Amino acid sequence: MNQLDALKQFTTVVADTGDFQQIAQYQPQDATTNPSLILKAVQMPAYRALLDDTLAQHPKAALDDNMDRLLVRFGCELLKVLPGRVSTEVDARWSFDTDATLARARRISHLYQAQGIDTEKRVLIKIAATWEGIQAAAVLEREGIHTNLTLLFAFSQAVACAQAGVKLISPFVGRIYDWHKKAAGAAWDETARAGANDPGVQSVRHIYNYYKQHGIATEVMGASFRNIGQITALAGCDLLTIAPELLSQLQAQTAPLSAALSLEHAKRVPIERVTLNEQQFRFALNEDAMASDKLAEGIRAFCADARKLDDLMQA
């Protein structure tokens, strides 16, 4: 058995891509997209027609309307080859505007419904895990629109998401690893900080253990991986969203793989239940230099790619 098939015994495998023609060989359950992945996909000849068709069908629509239509178009194509769910992201430029996030999330949901998609079962709306985004997610969940809170780097973000009752969170393993490696500079010991000692892996494990210990229903989906060692160190996590190149590497490996996370293990080390109000959340996030840096950086990067997609559509 290869490691991808072995991983599927413990964890729901999710493809992190907009390239729906590529993922069938890996047979993931779900898929996640973001503005960067969609921008990359529409610049490929195989997918340019999706952009052209969207614009041709709605030539007088506002740019942001067609942006959401394009995202949903990709999502619908992904759902044709997936048995599970697709995550579609709200424009990151609204990361600090609860009302605007709600409006865009509702519109994306309605666009899926217009295509005959059961959004309650098959769609997750991705939102940046800012305070404003988390509050929007709380409202959406009460409306039956399920959410995936992304750009999550801090335990405080995970606590606030649990309080909001979001469906799923995406803690970013690789970007946490990147920050700590850069901060350590020449002192970084790759071997010593690999596997279970990887700071990104440790962050996800702590959140997973906290959720399971306190019976929190929010699903944990590790994301943003740099190598398959990070993935195998999180085998047993609820879900892992993995780029196609790493799915391919897992498929090529045959070394034995066992679960590293489990409900039983999560209950062994007590973790105190935490509650955060807005002021406590903002202070805790500010105190975490890594999380503050990576959240801001991630939002800026997604905004930049959203603008590039705007420019491509206008051109």
Residue written as token pair 């800026």: 300
DSSP E strands: which ranges in 207-258? 219-222, 239-242
Largest distance between two CA atoms of the chain: 59
Rounded-to-integer distance, Cα 55 and Cα 50, Å: 9
- Residue/partner pairs of 19-27 with CB below 8 Å, 24 or more apart: 19/44, 19/47, 19/244, 20/74, 20/77, 20/78, 20/80, 20/81, 21/46, 22/244, 23/78, 23/81, 23/82, 23/244, 23/247, 24/81, 26/244, 26/247, 26/248, 26/251
Residues annotated catalytic, as ranges: 126
Cα 116 to Cα 57, 58, 123, 260, 314, distances in angstroms: 18, 19, 12, 39, 28
Rounded-to-integer distance, Cα 265 and Cα 125, Å: 31
CA triplet 160, 163, 168: central angle to 5 degrees? 80
Give residue limits of the domains in the chain.
3-314
- pTM beyond 0.85: the answer is yes
157-193 in b/e form (b: 16+ CB < 10 A) is: bbbbbbbbebbbbbbbbbbbbbbbbeeeeeeeeeeeb
Q: Which residues pair with 171 in a beta bridge?
A: 152
DSSP secondary structure string for all residues of 162-213: HHHT-SEEEEBHHHHHHHHHHHHGGG--TTTTSGGG-HHHHHHHHHHHHHHH
pLDDT tens, residue by residue, 15-54? 999 999 889 899 999 999 988 999 999 999 999 999 999 9
Please give the CATH number for the structural domain made up of 3-314.
Answer: 3.20.20.70
Give pLDDT tens digits along the chain (315 positions).
999 999 999 999 999 999 998 898 999 999 999 889 999 999 999 999 999 999 999 999 999 999 999 999 999 999 999 999 999 999 999 999 999 999 999 999 999 999 999 999 999 999 999 999 999 999 999 999 999 999 999 999 999 999 999 999 999 999 999 999 999 999 999 999 999 999 999 999 999 999 999 999 999 999 999 999 999 999 999 999 999 999 999 999 999 999 999 999 998 989 999 999 999 999 999 999 999 999 999 999 999 999 999 999 998
